[in-house]
């Protein structure tokens, strides 16, 4: 497994526009700390957050009754799935600038993030604070890299190793869906469908997985996974939706992993869908020490 030190690019049609928004929640100031001995724990937590691999939660979405579909609340699970998926087929890439806030028992911080992703290729992130770049992240179809640029050290592993370590999906398609709030209930599950005056609630037969769906935007606004005892293990909350070229995109995503007491909030400041000449430059200096993921045999 290797990584080139040259810039790469993917070509995509500029079918969608650019939108800028104001953050919905106030971020939490903290100190961005780096370890002298290893990749900073905060950077790893940030990667988890960015990939939607730490669970997520947030305040309730302010769903409006205006624009409520006439068939509500009588849609089937299959119809709900089709209505969610039907608006996202044309999206192939995005780039964005965001503010990321991370909180955990061991370390917390708020910093800037630049994000680029191709739906079926790579996810790239650059993280900085006070004008200083702290790290770059690259996830390809089979490899996972985090370059701590402050200490000139790089974490390396395969996507499978990263998934084992983080206990969550990190594949390109899954990350893309979570970053843009495009997740939807699987059509292969026999979901129990419920509703109140604002939202649909889909619950798995085991009761361990639930989706809350806004029928105005046809978007999941909350995903939750529970233990057998009913305790919440992880949540993903999507809110403050903005419509970009007819596609509702959340301007804020909040992740929370309950057992780890870890939270990350990603607030988009600007976003461009399907940009041209999307690059994933990593530019790792020759001789940079590598730290392999714990499950690696290298």
Distance CA 173, CA 115 (A): 15
User: How many CA atoms are closer than 13 Å to the CA of 192, on its beta-carbon side?
Assistant: 8
Which runs of E-coded beta strand occur in 76-231?
93-103, 108-118, 123-129, 132-139, 143-148, 153-158, 192-195, 200-203, 209-214, 219-226
Residue 36: other Cβ atoms inside 10 A: 8
All structural domains of the chain with their residue ranges: 40-57+67-291
- Three-class SS string for 181-201? CCCCCCCCCCCEEEECCCCEE
What pLDDT shows up at residue 111?
87
Question: Token digits for 93?
Answer: 């890439």
Judge whether 113 and 33 are in contact, CB under 8 Å. Answer: no
Three-state DSSP class for residue 273: strand
Per-residue pLDDT of the chain (298 residues; tens, 9 = 90+): 444 333 333 333 334 443 333 222 222 223 333 332 233 444 454 555 444 333 333 334 445 556 899 999 999 999 999 999 886 777 889 999 999 888 888 778 888 999 999 887 888 888 888 888 888 888 888 888 888 888 888 888 887 776 555 544 556 677 788 889 999 999 999 999 999 999 999 999 999 999 999 999 999 999 999 999 999 998 999 999 998 877 899 999 988 888 878 888 889 999 999 998 888 888 888 888 888 876 544 5
What pLDDT shows up at residue 204?
97
Question: Token digits for 220?
Answer: 């999941």
pTM of the model: 0.73
What pLDDT shows up at residue 171?
63
Domain 40-57+67-291 has CATH 3.30.70.890: no
């Amino acid at each position: 497994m290797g990584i080139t030190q040259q810039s790469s690019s993917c070509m995509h049609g500029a079918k969608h526009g650019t939108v800028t928004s104001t953050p919905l929640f106030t971020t939490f100031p903290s100190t961005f700390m780096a370890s002298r001995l290893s990749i900073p724990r905060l950077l790893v937590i940030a990667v988890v957050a960015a990939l939607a691999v730490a669970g997520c939660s947030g305040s309730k979405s302010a769903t409006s009754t205006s624009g409520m579909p006439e068939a509500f609340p009588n849609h089937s699970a299959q119809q709900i799935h089709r209505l969610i998926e039907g608006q996202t087929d044309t999206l192939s890439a995005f780039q964005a600038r965001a503010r990321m806030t991370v909180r955990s028992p061991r370390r917390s911080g708020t910093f800037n993030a630049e994000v680029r992703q191709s739906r079926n290729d790579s996810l790239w992130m650059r993280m900085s604070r006070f004008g200083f770049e702290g790290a770059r992240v690259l996830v390809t179809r089979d490899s996972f890299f985090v370059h701590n640029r402050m200490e000139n050290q790089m974490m390396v592993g395969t996507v499978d190793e990263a998934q084992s370590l983080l206990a969550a999906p990190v594949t390109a398609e899954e990350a893309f869906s979570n970053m843009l709030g495009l997740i939807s209930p699987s059509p292969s599950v026999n979901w129990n469908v419920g509703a109140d005056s604002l939202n649909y609630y889909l619950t798995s037969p085991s009761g361990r997985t639930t989706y809350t769906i806004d029928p105005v935007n046809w978007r999941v606004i909350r995903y939750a996974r529970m233990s057998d005892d009913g305790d919440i293990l992880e949540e993903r909350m999507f809110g403050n939706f903005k419509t970009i070229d007819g596609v509702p995109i959340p301007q804020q995503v909040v992740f929370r992993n309950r057992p780890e007491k870890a939270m990350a909030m990603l607030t988009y400041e600007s976003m461009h869908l399907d940009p041209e000449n999307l690059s994933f430059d990593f530019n790792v200096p020759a001789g940079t020490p590598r730290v392999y993921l714990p499950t690696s045999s290298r």
